[in-house]
Amino acid sequence: MKFALVFPGQGSQVVGMGRSLAESYPSARAVFEEVDAALGQNLSRLMFEGPAEELTLTANAQPALMAASLAVLRVLEQDRGLDLAEHVQCVAGHSLGEYSALAAAGTLTITDAAKLLRIRGEAMQRAVAPGAGAMAALIGAEPAQAAEIAAEARQGAVCDVANDNGGGQVVLSGDAAAVERAVAIAQGRGIKRAVMLNVSAPFHCRLMEPAAEAMRQALAAVRIAAPLVPVYANVTAAPVTSPEAIREALVAQVTGTVRWRECVAAMAGAGVTRFLELGAGKVLTGLAKRIAPGATAAAIGGPDEVAAFSAA
């Protein structure tokens, strides 16, 4: 039985992630050492020991989450006999996790993925002045409802649908005042919960255009290979295969909606019945179970979970 590999996005980071895996497997340590060398920073120490406020910085969290995910994959491949082409039907990642998915599929090297994510994180942080942007989660909202609320809240400002995560969870992003208006409107429309999120910038909205341009330039200088297995892109919820299409999807993703619900539904529609989330956290595991009720999902982040996967 083939399965899909999925890779988490920002917010899943936690101090200690990857540490037990690195202590147990030289193949995992090699991934962390490669990322450290690529960035000229002891990022692995920050991942293992903190402090949390430094790990949470966008420029650190993004490559750190990729490193944690790829370390798990390398252990499964080198120590547990996983063959990507033979055992995996497709891959996808949420936001920055798309870079992890592309590295998993052999499209990007780990070194290039780490450098690109550092550029991406720094560019996203620079794109909007602190406090000028905001994000909010609408819990219990359908995508069409969320889009209507965002449109009503704009009033000449930016308020876009950033994430359609599935399971009745939609995230809005944009100018702080417009997002705050959207929360108030949602509360008056009977949405189950509408809450402002504690984020450092308004990701996946039109305010991120300077960051998209930075990624356009960075991606133009990187070699991109054809993926070994299909990679479902956030902005199209469909596989991307050619290097140029991959570049375009990654640039569009900076300002576009992460269509995660549609990505999971499309993979399930293509025959995927099992989703494995590699790296930190279990957010995508829970979403997969809600989006594709007939499928199974599990998270693999540490030695115990690696052992359980091997036994299964």
* 306-310 CB contacts, 8 Å cutoff, 24+ apart: 306/21, 306/72, 306/75, 306/76, 306/79, 306/80, 309/76, 309/80, 309/276, 310/80
User: Do residues 230 and 90 lie in contact, with contact meaning Cβ atoms separated by under 8 Å?
Assistant: yes
Catalytic residue flag (residue 204) = yes
Q: Quick check: is 87 catalytic?
A: no
Which among 69, 95, 100, 200 is annotated as catalytic? Answer: 95
Q: How is the chain split among helix, strand and coil, in percent rounded to 5?
A: 55, 15, 30
Burial 37-73 (b: 16+ CB within 10 A, else e): ebbebebbebbbeeeeeebbbbbbbbbbbbbbbbbbb
DSSP reduced 3-state for 15: coil
Distance of CA 5 to the CA centre of its chain: 12
Catalytic residue among 44, 94, 200, 204: 204
User: Residues with catalytic annotation?
Assistant: 95, 204
